[in-house]
């Protein structure tokens, strides 16, 4: 047991290094962006690129799967705070944040990794859902429910179907588009306006 000058108990060992932690996360993200899957990644390779020892990594993460999850989480942009002006504006801002995320090559690699490796590493997708997907689902669900309460949206709106429609449209454009197709910056507005208008004449 180690105590400081005031007699308080202090945990032995070196203090956590934010600089080292950032270097490890950055190295992991870079290797994933270059095409490495979880299976191809190794703690040795990550440590070498980050300029740290393997023990530095194992002091923070139990295995490479946990490290990959934390690396993926750092690339998720903060959920935008709703402006509260209108349900439409809040929904557009929400989808605009998703569009910005998916427009970055690193973000696309991370998402593809989470989905493609889900069967071999189920904990990876599970943790990714907890860190990145579920908070965004909760935020969108809240926006839709508030819109229904204020009368901007139908009172009997099927919130889950509305969420799937908005998210599904964004996935369609960002994941399934032709490689040479450039997404227009007004895509979030077009999706929201189409959903709010509906398909009936």
Q: What is the 3-state secondary structure (H, E, C) of the chain?
A: CEECCCCCEECCCCCCCHHHHHHHHHHHHHHHHCCCCCCCCCHHHHHHHHCCCHHHHHCCCCCHHHHHHHHHHHCCCCCCCCCCCCHHHHHHHHHHHHHHHHCCHHHHHHHHHHHHCCCCCHHHHHHHHHHHHHHHHHHHHHHHHHHHHHCCCCCCCCHHHHHHHHHHHHHHHHHCCCCCCCCCCCHHHHHHHHHHHCCCC
d(CA 191, CA 92): 8
Q: What CATH number should be reported for the domain whose range is 87-197?
A: 1.10.357.10
Higher pLDDT residue, 33 or 21? 21
Higher pLDDT residue, 8 or 88? 88
Q: Examine the pLDDT at 7 and tell me if it is beyond 70.
A: no
**For the purposes of burial, counting CB atoms within 10 Å of the CB of 160, is it exposed (0-12), middle (13-18) or buried (19 or more)?**
exposed
Q: What is the pLDDT of residue 80?
A: 80
Whole-prediction pTM value?
Answer: 0.73
Q: What is the pLDDT of residue 4?
A: 43
Q: Using the structure block, give the residue that is written with the tokens 């690396």.
A: 71
**Please, which pLDDT band fits residue 201 given cuts at 50, 70 and 90?**
confident
The answer to whether residues 132 and 73 touch, using CB atoms and an 8 Å cutoff, is yes
Residues 80-101, mean pLDDT to the nearest whole number: 88
d(CA 102, CA 174): 7
Residues 45-62, mean pLDDT to the nearest whole number: 94
**For the chain, domain boundaries:** 2-63, 87-197
Q: Using the structure block, give the residue that is written with the tokens 């973000």.
A: 107
Q: What CATH number should be reported for the domain whose range is 2-63?
A: 1.10.10.60
The C-alpha torsion from 115 through 121 and 123 to 128, rounded to 10°, is -30
Characterize 50-80 residue by residue with b for buried, 16 or more Cβ atoms within 10 angstroms of its Cβ, and e for exposed.
Answer: bebeeebbeebbeebbebbbbbbeebbeebb
d(CA 188, CA 167): 10
């Amino acid at each position: 047991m180690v105590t400081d000058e005031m007699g308080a108990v202090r945990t032995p060992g070196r203090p956590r290094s934010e600089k080292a932690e950032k270097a490890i996360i950055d190295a992991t993200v870079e290797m994933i962006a270059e095409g490495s899957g979880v299976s191809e990644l190794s703690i040795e390779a990550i440590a070498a690129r980050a300029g740290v020892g393997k023990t530095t990594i194992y002091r923070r993460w139990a295995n490479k799967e946990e490290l990959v999850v934390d690396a993926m989480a750092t690339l998720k942009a903060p959920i935008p705070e709703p402006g509260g002006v209108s349900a439409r504006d809040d929904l557009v801002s929400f989808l605009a944040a998703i569009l910005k995320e998916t427009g970055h090559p690193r973000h696309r690699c991370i998402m593809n990794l989470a989905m493609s490796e889900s069967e071999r590493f189920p904990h990876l997708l599970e943790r990714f859902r907890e860190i990145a997907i579920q908070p965004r689902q909760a935020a969108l669900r809240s926006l839709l429910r508030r819109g229904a309460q204020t009368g901007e949206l139908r009172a009997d709106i099927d919130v889950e179907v509305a969420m799937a429609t908005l998210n599904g449209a964004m996935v369609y454009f960002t994941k399934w588009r032709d490689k040479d197709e450039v997404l227009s910056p007004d895509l979030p507005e077009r999706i929201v306006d189409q959903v709010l208008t509906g398909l009936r004449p």
